[in-house]
């Protein structure tokens, strides 16, 4: 019996495949420049035009999984009649900094955060490590469900965390990744099979 179990395990490993992910950043949010807005909920500009442009880049019929925040949700709903919403795909929680102008945040507090992005969280918020852990757990769960391809509509922080994980980048490198509003990037997520 142990030999049969080992053979079955090897067979499962041989059949593991990566998940094809079309990762989309929401369109530009309707908020003033220079405001910290991780978890703040607001609509985005140009949902219909962004959705129309994205449809030309995306394979038809794929499931759409999205952050429930409005700037992502409305785009997901424009791309699919019944998208799935996943709280682990929301933007980084900036805690007490949410809604403040970046230049209104105490310099010492901002510098402490910037000096250790991976582990330091804004007051009442989350660190980059916490953001990446929940985002990675979300995609691992999708892979474990047997999803082989999907569209993810999310935020810049989540986008960076996932792309950084796949590329095995340090936090200092992945936080520097740039993704435009409405951008679609394809990545292959390793299956947890």
Phi (first) and psi of residue 191, to 5 degrees:
-70, 145
pLDDT classification of 3: cutoffs 50, 70, 90: low
Indicate whether 72 pLDDT > 90.
Answer: yes
Q: Categorize the per-residue pLDDT at 4 as very low, low, confident or very high, splitting at 50, 70 and 90.
A: low
Architecture of domain 17-189: 3-Layer(aba) Sandwich (3.40)
What are the pLDDT digits (tens) for 84-99? 999 999 999 999 999 9
Among candidate residues 83, 91, 121, the one with its CA nearest the CA of residue 29: 91
pTM of the model as a whole: 0.88
Task: Count CA atoms closer than 13 A to 167's CA, side-chain side.
Answer: 16
Q: Where are the domains of the chain?
A: 17-189
**Confidence class of residue 114 from pLDDT cuts 50, 70 and 90?**
very high
- The angle, 0 to 180 degrees and rounded to 10, between the axes of the packed helices 70-79 and 47-55 is 50
Please write the tens of the pLDDT for every residue from 130-189: 999 999 999 999 999 999 999 999 999 999 999 999 999 988 888 889 999 999 999 999
Digit-coded pLDDT (tens) for 5-44: 554 444 444 445 789 999 999 999 999 999 999 999 999 9
């Amino acid at each position: 019996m142990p030999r049969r179990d080992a053979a079955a395990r090897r067979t499962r490993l041989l059949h593991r495949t990566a998940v094809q992910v079309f990762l989309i950043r929401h369109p530009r949010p309707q908020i003033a420049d220079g405001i910290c807005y991780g978890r703040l909920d607001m609509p985005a500009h140009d949902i219909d035009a962004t959705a129309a442009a994205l449809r030309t880049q995306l394979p038809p019929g794929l499931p759409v999984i999205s952050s429930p925040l409005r700037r992502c949700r409305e785009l997901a709903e424009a791309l699919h009649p019944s998208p799935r919403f996943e709280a682990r795909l929301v933007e980084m929680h900036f805690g007490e900094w949410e809604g403040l102008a970046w230049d209104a945040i105490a310099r010492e507090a901002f510098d402490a955060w910037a000096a250790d992005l991976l582990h330091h969280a804004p007051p009442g918020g989350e660190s980059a490590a916490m953001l990446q852990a929940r985002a990675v757990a979300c995609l691992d769960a999708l892979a474990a469900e047997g999803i082989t391809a999907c569209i993810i509509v999310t935020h810049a922080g989540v986008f960076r965390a996932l792309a950084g994980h796949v590329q095995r980048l340090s936090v200092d490198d992945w936080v520097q990744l740039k993704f435009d509003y409405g951008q679609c990037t394809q990545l292959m997520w390793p299956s947890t099979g």
